[in-house]
């Protein structure tokens, strides 16, 4: 056995990394098999990489997503990116609404519009967006909410043009986050007051890492989002000026949640992950 190779483990009690692995999905203390990682670790990495690629290239299936909305009114739009390849190569086109979709957006005095957007993980939207949306609406009785907008080939800033066209005071975009090698189905929410083209990232609030495999549970995300939306409408602002001061008794949390929501401009940028 090479001098720097990890000694063979005969039981979990012999593994000095076992305690730390309970607190992180990171690949730590993998050991060695000669000059390479163990075969199991290599195969696990390849599987995670394949899942991330599949999430990026997967198309959003509107039929089950619409069914999961439970009868809520909805409409479908698309960005100016004509296909997935163009979407990945031309982020600017993903931020602009296809002109043919503009007449589909009914102008009104809406308090909010929710946009379900594929982003870089249609898988995340497919699995978590409807649950977050329904739970959030239950926490916002009496709000004038526009029809749910399902957007494809969409990036974060597309919500600005959608919200402006609808005349909504708030736009909450639920969008698939860039997959990693530990999570491929992470959902993010971007909240913008008075959405209009040209809004900056610093003018949004972000709740990220929403998923059930160690992230923020949809119900907890709904608690956070409803609170932020209520404060945003009261204060007439979002972004770095809207601080997360949610009372602790409203933060339900969930067993096994390993990370907290990222708020304000410190979250993922519309120009980087999306």
Binding residues for adenosylcob(III)alamin: 156, 177, 206
36: burial class by Cβ within 10 Å (0-12, 13-18, 19+)? Answer: exposed
Sheet holding 148-152, edge to edge: 74-78, 148-152, 112-117, 170-176, 187-193, 204-210
Annotated binding-site members: 156, 177, 206
Half-sphere exposure of 261 (CA within 13 A, CB side): 30
The CA-based angle 101-107-108, given to 5 degrees, is 150
Going by C-alpha positions, the residue among 213, 218, 209, 206 that lies closest to residue 253 is 218
Rg, C-alpha atoms of the chain: 21
């Amino acid at each position: 056995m090479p001098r720097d190779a990890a000694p063979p483990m005969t039981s979990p009690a012999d593994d000095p990394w076992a305690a730390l692995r309970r607190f992180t999905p990171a690949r730590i203390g993998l050991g060695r098999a000669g000059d390479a990682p163990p075969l199991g670790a290599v195969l696990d990495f390849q599987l995670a990489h394949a899942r991330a690629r599949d999430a990026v290239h997967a198309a959003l299936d509107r039929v089950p997503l619409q069914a999961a909305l439970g009868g809520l009114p909805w409409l479908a739009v698309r960005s100016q990116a004509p296909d997935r390849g163009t979407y990945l190569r031309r982020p600017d086109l993903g931020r602009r609404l296809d002109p043919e979709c503009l007449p589909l957006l009914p102008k009104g005095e809406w308090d909010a519009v929710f946009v379900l957007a594929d982003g870089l993980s249609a898988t995340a939207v497919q699995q978590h967006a409807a649950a977050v949306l329904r739970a959030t609406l239950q926490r916002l009785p009496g709000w004038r909410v526009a029809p749910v907008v399902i957007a494809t080939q969409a990036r974060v800033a597309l919500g600005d043009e959608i919200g402006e066209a609808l005349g909504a005071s708030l736009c909450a975009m639920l969008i698939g986050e860039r997959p990693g090698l530990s999570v491929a189905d992470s959902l993010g929410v971007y909240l913008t007051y008075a959405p209009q083209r040209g809004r900056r990232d610093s003018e949004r609030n972000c709740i990220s890492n929403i998923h059930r495999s160690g992230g923020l549970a949809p119900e907890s995300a709904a608690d956070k989002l409803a609170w932020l939306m209520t404060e945003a409408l009261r204060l007439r602002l979002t972004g770095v000026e809207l601080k997360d001061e949610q009372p602790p008794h409203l933060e339900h949390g969930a067993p096994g949640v390993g990370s907290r929501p990222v708020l304000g401009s410190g979250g993922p940028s519309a120009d980087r992950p999306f």
